[in-house]
Amino acid sequence: MCGICGIMNLKEGAPPTTELLYRMVGTLDHRGPDENGGYRDREVALGQTRLSIIDLSGGSQPMSNEDDSIWVVFNGEIYNYVELAEELRAAGHRFKTKSDTEVILHGYEEWGDRCMERFNGQWAFSVWDRRRRRMLLSRDRVGVRPLYYAVVDGGRRLLFASEQKAILADPATPRGFDLEGLAQVFCFWAPVAPRTCLREIRQLRPGSNLVIEEGKLREEVYWQPRFLAEDRPFSHADERKTGELALELRDRLEASTKLRMTRADVSVGVYLSGGIDSSVIGALVRRFHSGPLRTFSVRFENRDFDEGRFQEEMIKRLGTEHTSVEVGYNDIRKVFPEVIYFAEAPVLRAAPAPLYALSALVRRSGYKVVLTGEGSDEFLAGYDLFRENKVRRFWLRRPESKLRPRLLERLYPWLVRNPAQAQALQRTFFGKGRELYGEPHFSHLPRWESAASLRRMFSAEAKATLGEFDPAADLIAGFAPEVRRFEPLGKAQYLEIVTLLSGYLLSSQGDRMLMGNSVEGRFPFLDVNVMEFANALPPEVKLRVLDEKHILKRAARDLVPEAILKRSKQPYRAPDAQSFVQESEPDYVDEALSPAAVSEAGVFDPVGVTRLAEKCRRTRDKTPSNADNMALVGILSTQLLHKLVIRGQAGALARPTPERLGHWYDQL
């Protein structure tokens, strides 16, 4: 795993400077602390920092083909590189290393711009084709690896990098918020590609390439999630057919897990959360890995959030060498500024902070790679939102029914405790959007409207600048026509993948929290062979009545203890607002939420922020409302983003550290 960056002249001008490239590489040191390198010619400069996972066997990045006409910098892993290398050798290509990086070079030579369609992995890479004077940027199918770019200096230069801080290392990059990107955060929980929260900086969409030639940029989509059409012939899969599909899912997951466990020249650990997804991955690893197995988990001082009982049951079953980190209010607020520095986006929950502490534990334990269960909920229908969508659709076929909405009590047992309140909530919250029943975003309306209500905290100036911008309408307008034809569960899954999974779970809560401590995450559920199989499944085998991930449970019957298979879905959560309003509140909270700091950032209303902070402090011993929780964390994280990233001194490291210098090629 690595960090990459680069500069490309879009118009005639002086060659890119090594000084700027050094600064850009310096901001990415945490992504690749083992080595770094660079390349420069009259039009392009490429930089890379390396976290050594696979032995390059005589090569280093930036890497070139035999005649130095094509150069690549690469962040990620191509897991099927061994098989592809054999195919390319048979086609006449000569390899000088045993790395997956070189497979990208020869794959580009052999298959051109669509070479990534052959890749099974997670990546962000840049290919510079000197002869054709064109650059190709590519990002993996669901955005496991980040890739940002900006056109600066009056359209004269393109900058790209694994993180936005590297682009901000160029003084020509404007500094400030993109309010439309922030509006997306306060709706979807994350900016949705191509937007970011920073002015003029864009992110390459997952499953897309960016081609730059003759001074022009052209984006091309090579992959997107596809689901069964709504008008397909309907039939419930019988038990025999479901059993066959479950066996195939298991075979694909085992192959995916084995590939990610074995394609590494360092030891690989496993995250165990206590849920079915990571438990399945751990159990599959144990089937083919006979040696010692290291597992890691988060525990919480507040037992309302803790899943330790289930973790311990799985640890005992697998016989792993296990280490956990226990997290409380103090731990969350202590690391939160670092969390936002690495996330480079606001968050509405404090959940990334414990995962940042967990990756630090992994690194201290001597590990660089961990497998996790991320992606299962999105591709196999594991969230309450999918079940809720099914109930709401069933209810709205007979909106006058008094019994149908009571199915929601099966999803949210707390509704039973206050029947009068439950009835009102069913009508006002879960009953939203009757007129949008057939629209692709019907499933997400309650969640999106709940988050969007937080924009009441925006300043009058920010609201005026945003005008009529509606994040949801803007997102839906960009959908391909086929998305509207997906069956209802497929529509909901598609939305969850392109918003929460790619924008938040794999970014702010995933790559950034791992790479902040120089740890690589690998995700067997996001193997292309698993994803495409899951997307082609009939919805009734993923969500059978209201049984989420039904087919995964069938596939895992002999792998996971019954207590984990049958436990109620517990989404990963952490203490939110309460972490920041304890008696020993850190100085940075007061400073970030002060009227002066809020006015300087220009996003929120200072009076409203002060009232919210005072309310949370007065009620610190009580659990805040969902709205207050998200509002305080969202505002605090936005303010920290302004201080640490927008006002911060990106590129303070003037040049790469000498002891980690790799190969630096100057072709002027």
pLDDT in tens, 11-30: 999 999 999 999 999 999 99
* Residue 169 · residue 24 · CB < 8 Å: yes
Q: What are the structure tokens assigned to 668, written together?
A: 């002027």
Measure the CA–CA gap between 604 and 443, rounded to whole angstroms: 29
Residue type, 492: A
Measure the CA–CA gap between 587 and 596, rounded to whole angstroms: 15
DSSP string, 617-649: HHTTTSPPPHHHHHHHHHHHHHHHHIIIIISS-
Mean pLDDT is lowest, of 86-95, 101-110, 299-308, 310-319, for: 299-308
Helix axes 488-496, 384-396, angle to 10 degrees: 140
The DSSP symbol for 43 reads S
Tell me how far CA of residue 563 lies from CA of 203, 310, 376, in angstroms: 41, 8, 19
Classify residue 449 by burial, with Cβ atoms within 10 Å: 0-12, 13-18, 19+. middle
pLDDT at 644 over 90: yes
pLDDT at 651 over 70: no
Per-residue confidence (pLDDT) for residue 657, from 0 to 100 = 54
Measure the CA–CA gap between 317 and 308, rounded to whole angstroms: 14
The DSSP symbol for 33 reads B
User: Sign (positive/negative) of CA torsion 550, 554, 555, 557?
Assistant: positive
- Tell whether 204 is covered by a domain: yes
User: Considering only CA atoms, which of 551, 559, 497 is closest in space to residue 281?
Assistant: 559
- Tell whether 544 is covered by a domain: no
Mean pLDDT of 90-115: 95
- Tell whether 271 is covered by a domain: no
Tell me how far CA of residue 444 lies from CA of 196, 434, 448, 476, in angstroms: 21, 13, 6, 12
Classify residue 487 by burial, with Cβ atoms within 10 Å: 0-12, 13-18, 19+. middle
CATH number for the domain including 126? 3.60.20.10
Strands 134-139 and 121-129, bridge-based pairing: antiparallel
- Tell whether 123 is covered by a domain: yes
Per-residue confidence (pLDDT) for residue 94, from 0 to 100 = 94
pLDDT at 425 over 80: no
pLDDT one-digit tens code per residue, 47-102: 999 888 766 555 688 999 999 999 999 999 999 999 999 999 999 999 999 899 99
Per-residue confidence (pLDDT) for residue 8, from 0 to 100 = 98
Alpha-helical runs (H) found in 371-418: 376-380, 384-396, 408-411
Model confidence at 575, pLDDT cuts 50, 70, 90, reads confident
Mean pLDDT is lowest, of 256-265, 416-425, 486-495, for: 416-425
Alpha-helical runs (H) found in 467-621: 471-477, 488-496, 512-515, 528-535, 539-542, 550-555, 562-565, 587-592, 595-601, 606-618
Model confidence at 396, pLDDT cuts 50, 70, 90, reads confident
Count up the domains in the chain and report the number: 1
Mean pLDDT is lowest, of 59-73, 236-250, 280-294, 440-454, for: 236-250
pTM of the model: 0.94
Q: How many CB atoms lie within 10 A of CB 418?
A: 11
User: Does residue 206 have a cis peptide bond before it, meaning omega lies within 30 degrees of 0?
Assistant: no
pLDDT one-digit tens code per residue, 151-174: 999 999 999 999 999 999 999 999
- Tell whether 590 is covered by a domain: no
- Which of the pair, 353 or 434, is modelled with greater confidence? 353
- Tell whether 70 is covered by a domain: yes
Mean pLDDT is lowest, of 275-279, 281-285, 394-398, for: 394-398
- Tell whether 107 is covered by a domain: yes
Q: How many CB atoms lie within 10 A of CB 114?
A: 12
Measure the CA–CA gap between 486 and 480, rounded to whole angstroms: 11
Mean pLDDT is lowest, of 47-61, 492-506, 518-532, 569-583, for: 47-61
Measure the CA–CA gap between 306 and 287, rounded to whole angstroms: 28
Measure the CA–CA gap between 662 and 215, rounded to whole angstroms: 30
Model confidence at 336, pLDDT cuts 50, 70, 90, reads very high
Mean pLDDT of the chain: 91
Model confidence at 397, pLDDT cuts 50, 70, 90, reads confident
- Tell whether 524 is covered by a domain: no
The DSSP symbol for 198 reads B
Residue type, 344: E
Question: What is the span of the domain harbouring residue 53?
Answer: 2-223
Beta bridge partners of 7: 45, 159
Total length of the chain: 668
pLDDT one-digit tens code per residue, 57-71: 556 889 999 999 999
Alpha-helical runs (H) found in 112-227: 164-168, 179-188
Per-residue confidence (pLDDT) for residue 662, from 0 to 100 = 67
Measure the CA–CA gap between 601 and 638, rounded to whole angstroms: 9
Measure the CA–CA gap between 531 and 535, rounded to whole angstroms: 6
Measure the CA–CA gap between 543 and 551, rounded to whole angstroms: 8
User: Considering only CA atoms, which of 1, 31, 7 is closest in space to residue 126?
Assistant: 7
Mean pLDDT is lowest, of 118-127, 233-242, 623-632, for: 233-242
Mean pLDDT of 402-419: 67
Measure the CA–CA gap between 99 and 265, rounded to whole angstroms: 11
